[in-house]
Amino acid sequence: MRGKTRSYSYSPVHRMLEIAGIAGCLLLSAALFSRSLGLARWIDSPAAWAVFILAVPGGYLLADFVSGFVHWMADRYGTVNTPVFGPNFVRPFREHHVDPKGITRHDFIETNGANCIVSVPLQTGVLLSFPAEGAGLLGLAATAHTLWLCLFVFATNQFHKWAHADTVPGFVRLLQKWRLILPPDHHQIHHTVPFDTYYCITVGWLNPVLATTRFFIVLERILRRTIGLKAGEDDAAWVSGSETRERPSPAET
């Protein structure tokens, strides 16, 4: 009797790591929520409750920036042969430009597990660094922002996947239409050769700002001039036989 066909193409060990990462991320998020709420109650001032509430949009914007920064690094530096970094970070991002729909064939665990694995050490470190009482506004800000940052980082690849899906639930389409999660038309700007802008993939709110200020271009110049680190070739070379399309105007997003 044949065994059940696996729904993923990587090792079972890594699969178990992803499952553990998701479980750990959720448990630690619950602990961070309890810790930040406890600190807000312990401090019990308008400033404390403002920090507690504003951590939600703050964490969302921070997750958007982190997603863009990591995406930019994986797209522009290293190769698929770079030890550790190459196969685990560079290859998935570069291959995604060749097969954008590939992410839609991943199940929930494969889509979101890696981000959770990365979040767990940060969540653990923040919980150990700030006690339940006595940490003050700094501890409250750290725990509350880490909570929402990691939750939105958890959601980032799911939002990204939905931006590429042909069909999504109605509530997802509404959130995309209202620009509350990454919209497909907005993300398409990044998927136009040479794939060198609009890197943020949580919600994309920061993309126009980073593009207008030439943030990543300036950062590449700084890295090249200070430490001699040169950005690699763009991913046009990965797309065999592709034709350069006219990139949509950011104003159209």
d(CA 157, CA 155): 6
CB-facing half-sphere around the CA of 73: CA atoms within 13 A: 11
Q: What pLDDT is attached to residue 57?
A: 98
By C-alpha distance, which of 202, 201, 16, 25 is closest to 116?
25
Q: What pLDDT is attached to residue 233?
A: 54
DSSP, collapsed to helix, strand or coil, labels residue 188 as: helix
Q: Please provide the DSSP assignment of 32-84 as one string.
A: HHHHHHHHHHHH-SHHHHHHHHHHHHHHHHHHHHHHHHHHHHHHHS--TTSTT
**Cβ neighbours around 122 below 10 Å, total:** 15
> How many whole angstroms from its chain centre is CA 133?
31
Tokens representing 240?
């065999």
Q: What pLDDT is attached to residue 98?
A: 83
Q: What pLDDT is attached to residue 7?
A: 65
Q: What pLDDT is attached to residue 92?
A: 76
Q: What pLDDT is attached to residue 180?
A: 97
Q: What pLDDT is attached to residue 138?
A: 95
pLDDT tens-digit readout, 221-248: 999 999 988 887 544 444 433 333 344 4
| E-state strands within 109-215 | none
Q: What pLDDT is attached to residue 5?
A: 54
Q: Which residues of the chain have pLDDT under 70?
A: 1-10, 84-89, 233-253
**Would you report the helix, strand and coil content of the chain in percent, each value rounded to 5?**
70, 0, 30
